[in-house]
Amino acid sequence: MTPESVMTLGRQGVEVTLLLAAPLLLAALAIGLVVSIFQAATQINEMTLSFIPKMVGIFVMLVIAGPWMITVITTFMQHVFTSIPFMVG
């Protein structure tokens, strides 16, 4: 296993991780922004107010993007498993 192949596999792993985390993080970011604007407009200073909407938003995003996320991680793992014989030799 050459250093180049290790770096390539690591880079692909980081790319897949970012692809899988992006929809959930963007949903949480958007909901947090909307809730914070609402809190600023109404002057409600409750720190736990954004927790439930974020949880619901992340759950909805998992339902919507879940099949795509499973496809991405399955494809990556199939690629990793099929390339093991070429990495050993």
Query: In the prediction, which pLDDT does 28 show?
Result: 95
Q: How far is CA 76 from the centre of its chain?
A: 15
Of residues 37 and 86, the one with the higher pLDDT is 37
Residue 81 confidence (pLDDT) above 80: yes
- The pLDDT of residue 16 is 97
Residue 74: CB atoms within 10 Å: 10
List the domain boundaries for the chain: 3-88
Average pLDDT, integer, range 55-75: 96
CA 1 – CA 5 distance, rounded (Å): 7
Say whether pLDDT at 5 is over 90.
no
In the prediction, which pLDDT does 48 show? Answer: 83
Helix spans in 1-89 (H): 3-42, 51-82, 84-88
Residues above pLDDT 70, as percent of the chain: 99
Q: How far is C-alpha 81 from the geometric centre of its chain's CA atoms?
A: 22
pLDDT tens digits for range 14-25: 999 999 999 999
Which residues, other chains included, contact 87 with Cβ-Cβ below 8 Å and sequence gap of 6+?
1, 5, 9
